[in-house]
A and B are shown apart, each in its own frame.
Chain A
């Protein structure tokens, strides 16, 4: 029983860590977006406010996949173990 619970907890933690690999994508994407925005501001300093607001919008949308990964990881750490352990306990009839 203890071994089974240990495996559940460990696998949940591993799963959360693996899910956060998705953080690479938004990081690269947002970095590129900001780099291009900086270039644009350098070329046209008068369009700064418009470029900035567009960039923030774009960054927010690029961030979505990272946020999905984060939500999955948080659920795996704080919510999933309880549910799985309860399922195991009811399956074993304890």
Chain B
């Protein structure tokens, strides 16, 4: 199949859209990072803040980076499915098919047939979380090491959990809090609230601990170079090598694992809280009333 000029142009545009946001993030990082000596561990830089009645709205580095990752991910999805057609096998289309198929299987195995339509959502969470954590490889501030980002996702998942619990009837949902005995009500409420908090803290804590340990080791190696070579060699030679090896674990492995675990917990919580029998009973009643 000969590719037309238009097809190629769109391809190049999409590739540019994939890479440019990340490059833009790196440029912003280089321009705004305050130069300082020693160990630097702090939150995201805040670019702008808007006054709101309850709490100021921050536009921080994490917000910017997560938006950039989002643009890049969208471009990646468009690139992989660009010009997709039945029968024609192309490498990127095969990759796209593999991604769709494996998430479909994951969702089917863990959530059951009722939640088949959840596969795009789960895939989006997986890709977004993984790419956010991996963005620290190019020196960006990973959005997942800011608590606000991850808590936002967890809150979204909490809303979904409650929505699917309410499908069994509002009365049944309220009654669920007073089981097995009414005395347990406060404990049940705490358990309900703990779900998003524990989900977000797990993701955030893992990524944050990785970046803290990496920063500590890098600065320690810099100090060691200064102690060993003194004024002879100003370049921190000992910083070469070890931080890169550690980053394979802390950035790549930990980030991908946490993305998988977050998606997995989303699936299990949503499908676990859904009262399937009550829902079926309700649907039958509704159908009877209509008939």
A residues at B contact (CB < 8 Å): 56-57, 60, 63-64, 67-68, 70-71, 74, 78
State whether B205 touches A67 (Cβ < 8 A). Answer: yes
Residues of B within 8 A of A (CB): 41-42, 198, 201-202, 204-206, 208-209, 212, 257-258, 260-261, 264
Query: CB distance B202 to A78 under 8 Å?
Result: no
Residues of B close to A71: CB separation below 8 A: 201, 204-205, 208
The reply to whether A57 and B201 form a contact with Cβ atoms under 8 Å apart is: no
Given the contacts A67-B206, A74-B212, A78-B42, A56 and B198 also touching, CB distance less than 8 Å = no
Report yes or no: A56 in contact with B261, Cβ–Cβ below 8 A.
yes
* Dominant SS among interface residues on chain B: helix
Q: Across the interface, name the chain A residue whose C-beta is closest to B264.
A: A57
Please, how many angstroms separate the alpha-carbon atoms of A56 and B261 in the complex? 8
Given contacts A56-B257, A74-B212, A78-B42, contact A68 B264 (CB under 8 A): no
Closest to A63 in B: B202
Contact A70 B264 (CB under 8 A): no
A77 to B, closest residue via Cβ: B41
A-B contact pairs, 7 of them (CB 8 A): A60-B202, A63-B202, A67-B201, A67-B202, A67-B205, A74-B209, A74-B212
Q: Indicate which residue in B198, B202, B208 contacts A74 across the interface (CB closer than 8 Å).
A: B208
Q: How far is the CA of A68 from the CA of B257 in the complex (A)?
A: 18
Q: Are the C-beta atoms of B205 and A68 separated by less than 8 Å?
A: yes
A64 to B201, CA, bound (A): 8
